[in-house]
């Protein structure tokens, strides 16, 4: 989940590696844009962003059909991909943990933050909202980088107000860099200015951010401040919640609750999914699990959702993979696991099927898989829910094909059957996860653009894929499409 990597906090993580904050310790991506670089000051307009954004790398660039049977190796993310949570309960827990931290440790106002997590709360939430930390704004961008929606506190700005803040082009230098390369703001100076709440482990943070800004403005006679510290305080709170020591030591509210009430927070994996994993293995495919979670939390999650014998489904299990760094760096060491702890380095040439490791890199894993299949060229697929860590980065940097698991698809009934039970993932205030309506026209969001350029297909759940034949062919997204192409959404 968690992409908040202010430079200062990178130092913190060296002493205590976090389970659910794996991203905080990810190594710098390939490009870190300096605040003083000419490129930064020049700025770009939205069409330039769109045209200069790096194009995808796909193993089957021209293929218009996708079939699971075509792959030699199939990898899975764990949280919210294979291991499903009760998201309403999970987000409520996260909201309460973070709000209580801010009240108890940072002196935030109790009445402003400690509110019931109800329908009104979830209506304000959407995955992928971007924080403009200094101005206290939450932003939603279209695929070209235009800032189409802005909330300051809990109030939405009019288009005229957005133009006053971000200019007539509706753009901001920092998000322009982000749109050109989604890893450019991952860490370094730009990461202190903007962050995106990319998945369900930090999504409730946007409501806390908005409520805190709203309260601060009220205390300032309704006037916005020049600069807010709310986001920095929230980052400290996320560290506290997700510190990996807290899982082992039963501290920090989040992990103790997850451990104590598994039925409240996890959803057991359906038997047909487990059968499907076995069937894939029986077709001589290498199956691997690659999770950002630290070994103890990941094992707890996998055991609870997939059963005691969960390891049998995978040939390789990679913990604490520090995505996206796993996909961008080739020299990151693989570490042996013993007694649920990281130990000494293990060479990728020593990796054998049936083995677990921590950290590592995609290139070494590929070499190990090729060796076990006795093949020099293999086709690899990865399935995940995080649009940058699981979809964009492996597609762009490791040339893997990807499948998006996106619960919003069913929550909105977007080119698939509506699932009323996931209405907490739907926000009428922020419009669709997949598009933004302006002057009665629908514009694809950044996230839809990642689907089109970096994914074969998008499904609401692994359960759906597992209920279909392994040799079924699916229509794929059109990578060249500039509009709202929906060919890759399944089931229709």
Site residues (vs Mg ion, CB under 5 A): 77, 79-80, 385
Q: How far is the CB of 317 from Mg ion (least distance, A)?
A: 15
Q: Provide the minimum distance between the beta carbon of 319 and Mg ion in the complex, in angstroms, as a whole number.
A: 13
Contacts of 149 (CB under 8 A, 6+ apart): 139, 140, 156, 430, 431, 436
In whole angstroms, how large is the CA radius of gyration of the chain?
21
- Please state, in angstroms and as integers, the Cα–Cα distance from residue 477 to each residue in 64, 198, 227, 457, following that order: 8, 22, 41, 6
- The least distance separating Mg ion from the CB of residue 121, rounded to whole angstroms, comes to 22
Cβ proximity to Mg ion: between 87 and 365 the closer is 87
The H-or-E segment that residue 263 falls in is helix 262-265
User: Helix, strand or coil for residue 366?
Assistant: helix
CB of 201 to Mg ion, least distance (A): 8
Nearer to Mg ion, 102 or 391 (CB): 391
Q: Residue 51 Cβ, how far from Mg ion at the closest point, in Å?
A: 31
Count the alpha carbons within 13 Å of 63 in the hemisphere toward its beta carbon.
Answer: 15
Residue closest to Mg ion when measured from CB atoms:
79
Q: Are 479 and 448 in contact (CB under 8 A)?
A: no
Nearer to Mg ion, 387 or 397 (CB): 387
- According to DSSP, the β-strands at 380-384 and 435-438 are unpaired
For Mg ion, give the closer residue by CB, 77 or 173: 77
Q: What is the spatial distance between Cα 317 and Cα 299, in angstroms, rounded to a whole number?
A: 10
Q: Choose between 112 and 203: whose C-beta lies nearer to Mg ion.
A: 203
Give the angle 179-195-332 at the CA atoms, nearest 5°: 85
- Looking at the Cβ atoms of 2 and 108, the one nearer to Mg ion is 2
Task: Give the residue with the Cβ less far from Mg ion, 108 or 266.
Answer: 266
Q: CA-CA distance, 446 to 332, in Å (whole number)?
A: 29
- The total of other beta-carbon atoms located within 10 Å of residue 475's CB is 16
CB of 446 to Mg ion, least distance (A): 18
Q: How far is the CB of 382 from Mg ion (least distance, A)?
A: 11
- Based on CB atoms, which residue is closest to Mg ion, 147 or 403? 403
Question: Shortest approach of Mg ion to residue 87 CB, angstroms?
Answer: 12
Residue among 456, 459, 475 nearest 65 (CA): 475
The count of other CB atoms within 10 Å of the CB of residue 56 is 17
């Amino acid at each position: 989940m968690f992409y908040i990597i202010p430079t200062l906090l990178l130092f913190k993580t060296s002493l205590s590696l976090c389970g659910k904050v794996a991203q905080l310790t990810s190594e710098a991506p390939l490009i870190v844009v300096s605040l003083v670089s000419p490129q930064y000051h020049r700025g770009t307009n939205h069409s330039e962003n769109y045209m200069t954004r790096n194009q995808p790398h796909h193993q089957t660039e021209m293929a218009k059909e996708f079939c699971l049977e075509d792959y030699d190796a199939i990898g899975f993310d764990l949280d919210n991909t294979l291991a499903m949570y009760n998201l309403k309960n999970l987000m409520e827990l996260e909201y309460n943990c973070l709000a209580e931290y801010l009240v108890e440790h940072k002196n935030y106002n109790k009445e402003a933050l400690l509110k019931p997590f109800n329908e009104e709360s979830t209506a304000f939430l959407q995955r992928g909202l971007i924080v403009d930390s200094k101005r206290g704004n939450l932003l939603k961008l279209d695929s070209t980088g235009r800032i189409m929606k802005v909330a300051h506190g809990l109030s939405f700005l009019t288009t005229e107000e957005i133009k006053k803040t971000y200019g007539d082009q509706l753009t901001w230098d920092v998000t322009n860099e982000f749109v050109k390369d989604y890893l450019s703001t991952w860490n370094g100076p730009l990461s202190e200015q903007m962050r995106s709440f990319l998945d369900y482990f930090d999504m409730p943070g946007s409501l806390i951010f908005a409520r805190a800004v709203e309260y601060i403005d009220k205390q300032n006679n309704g006037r916005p401040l020049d600069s807010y510290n709310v986001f920095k305080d929230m980052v400290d709170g996320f560290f506290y919640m997700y510190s990996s020591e807290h899982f082992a030591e039963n501290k920090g509210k989040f992990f103790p609750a997850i451990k104590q009430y598994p039925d409240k927070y996890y959803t057991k994996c359906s038997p047909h999914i487990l059968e499907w994993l076995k069937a894939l293995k029986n077709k001589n495919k290498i199956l691997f699990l690659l999770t950002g979670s630290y070994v103890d939390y990941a094992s707890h999650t996998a055991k609870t959702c997939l059963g005691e014998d969960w390891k049998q489904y995978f040939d390789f299990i990679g913990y604490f993979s520090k995505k996206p760094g796993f996909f961008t760096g080739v020299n990151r060491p693989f570490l042996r696991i013993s007694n649920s702890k990281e130990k000494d380095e293990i060479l990728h040439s020593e990796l054998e099927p049936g083995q677990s490791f921590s950290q590592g890199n995609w290139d070494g894993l590929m070499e190990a898989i090729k060796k076990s299949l006795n093949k020099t060229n293999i086709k690899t697929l990865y399935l995940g829910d995080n649009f940058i860590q699981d979809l964009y980065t492996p597609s762009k940097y490791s040339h893997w094909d990807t499948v998006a698991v996106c619960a919003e698809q069913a929550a909105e009934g977007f080119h698939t059957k509506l699932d009323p039970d996931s209405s907490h993932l739907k926000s009428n205030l922020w419009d669709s996860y997949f598009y933004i309506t302006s002057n009665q026209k629908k514009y694809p969001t950044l996230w839809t653009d990642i689907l089109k350029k970096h994914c074969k297909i998008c499904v609401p759940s692994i359960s759906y894929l597992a209920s279909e034949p392994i040799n079924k062919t699916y229509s794929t997204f059109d990578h060249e499409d500039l509009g709202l192409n929906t060919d890759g959404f399944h089931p229709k």
